[in-house]
C-alpha cells in the first residue's frame, strides 16, 4: 500500500522554484516618504509671484505710449519753425530719450532750428533755440547773387560764409594794363536767410549778418553786383 505526499501550495511570501520547491520572496521595500519643507515651498511661491509681477510691470511700462513731436520735413538750421514743420507720433519712450511732447507744439512755433532737422526724426529740446542769428554788434545785409556767384550746394541759415568783393570790369582792365594783381577783399559772415530764385534770372537774395563796422561797405559793394559768396572751410564743406 503506497503513501501519498502532499506538497503545500506556495504562500504569499514564497515563489515556486523551477523544481517545484517554494523559495522565499524578499519583502517589498517601503518607500520612504519625502519630508515636506514649508519654508522652501513658500520661497518658491514668492519667486514665482515676483517674476510674474515684474513681467506685468515691464509689459505695462513698454505699452505706455506718449504723444511727441516729430519733424514733418527737412528744416535747415536757423530756420524759424512753422506749424507745418511739426508733426506728432505716439511712441513708447525710453526714459533716457529726451523728446518734446506734442502738447508743447505751440510754444515752438517761431523758434529757430539750432541744427539741421531731418524729416521723421523725433524733436528734442536741444534742437530748437530762441536766439536770433543776428547777434549783438552785427547788422543784417541783403546780397543779391547770380547763380554763378555762389555754390550750387544749398546755403542754410547759420552757415558760415565768406563774402568776396570782385572788381568791376574797368578796375580789372586797369589793373591788368598796369600789371597789378590785387587780392580780393573777403568778409566773414553768417547766413541768416536764403530767398527763392527769381523767375527768369535765377538770382537769389541771401541775408547775411556781419559786424556793424563792415555793414555799410558791404551794402555799397553788394549794390554794384560785384560780390560772390563762398562757403567757409570751417564748416567742413
What SS3 class is residue 46? helix
Residue 136: pLDDT over 80: yes
d(CA 226, CA 100): 45
Rounded to the nearest 5°, which phi and psi values hold at 163?
A: -95, 120
Per-residue pLDDT at 237 exceeds 50: no
Written as one string, the DSSP assignment of 102-161 is: GGGHHHHTT-EESSPBPTTPBP-GGGEE---SS-TTEEEEEEEE-GGGS-SSPP-TT-EE
- Cell readout for 12 is 504569499
* Mean pLDDT within 108-126: 86
228, 145 in Cβ contact below 8 A? Answer: yes
Q: Per-residue pLDDT tens for 212-234?
A: 999 999 999 999 998 999 997 65
Does the pLDDT at position 123 exceed 50? yes
Q: Which residues of 92-110 are buried (b: 16+ CB within 10 A; e: fewer)?
A: eeeeeeebbebeebeebee
Mean pLDDT on 112-140: 86
**Whether the model pTM is above 0.75:** no
The pLDDT tens digits for 31-85 are 555 555 666 666 666 667 666 666 655 555 555 778 888 899 888 777 889 999 9
Write down the pLDDT at residue 179.
63
Cα 96 from chain centroid? Answer: 12
Q: What is the pLDDT of residue 177?
A: 65
Q: Give 141-152 pLDDT, tens digit per residue.
A: 999 999 999 998
Amino acid at each position: 500500500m503506497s503513501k501519498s505526499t502532499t506538497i503545500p501550495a506556495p504562500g504569499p511570501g514564497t515563489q515556486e522554484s523551477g523544481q517545484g520547491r517554494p523559495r522565499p520572496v524578499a519583502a517589498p521595500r517601503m518607500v520612504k516618504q519625502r519630508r515636506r519643507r514649508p519654508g522652501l515651498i513658500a520661497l518658491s511661491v514668492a519667486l514665482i509671484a515676483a517674476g510674474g509681477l515684474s513681467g506685468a510691470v515691464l509689459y505695462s511700462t513698454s505699452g505706455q505710449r506718449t504723444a511727441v513731436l516729430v519733424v514733418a520735413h527737412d528744416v535747415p538750421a536757423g530756420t524759424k519753425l512753422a506749424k507745418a514743420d511739426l508733426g506728432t507720433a505716439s511712441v513708447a519712450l525710453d526714459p533716457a530719450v529726451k523728446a518734446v511732447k506734442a502738447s508743447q507744439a505751440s510754444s515752438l512755433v517761431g523758434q529757430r532750428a539750432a541744427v539741421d532737422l531731418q524729416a521723421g526724426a523725433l524733436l528734442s529740446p536741444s534742437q530748437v533755440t530762441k536766439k536770433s542769428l543776428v547777434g549783438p554788434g552785427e547788422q543784417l545785409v541783403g546780397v543779391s547773387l547770380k547763380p554763378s556767384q555762389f555754390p550750387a550746394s544749398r546755403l542754410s541759415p547759420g552757415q558760415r560764409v565768406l563774402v568776396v568783393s570782385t572788381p568791376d570790369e574797368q578796375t580789372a582792365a586797369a589793373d591788368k594794363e598796369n600789371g597789378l594783381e590785387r587780392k580780393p577783399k573777403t568778409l566773414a559772415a553768417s547766413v541768416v536767410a536764403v530767398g527763392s530764385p527769381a523767375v527768369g534770372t535765377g538770382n537769389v537774395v541771401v541775408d547775411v549778418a556781419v559786424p556793424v563796422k563792415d555793414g555799410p561797405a558791404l551794402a555799397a559793394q553788394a549794390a554794384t553786383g560785384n560780390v560772390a559768396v563762398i562757403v567757409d572751410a570751417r564748416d567742413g564743406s
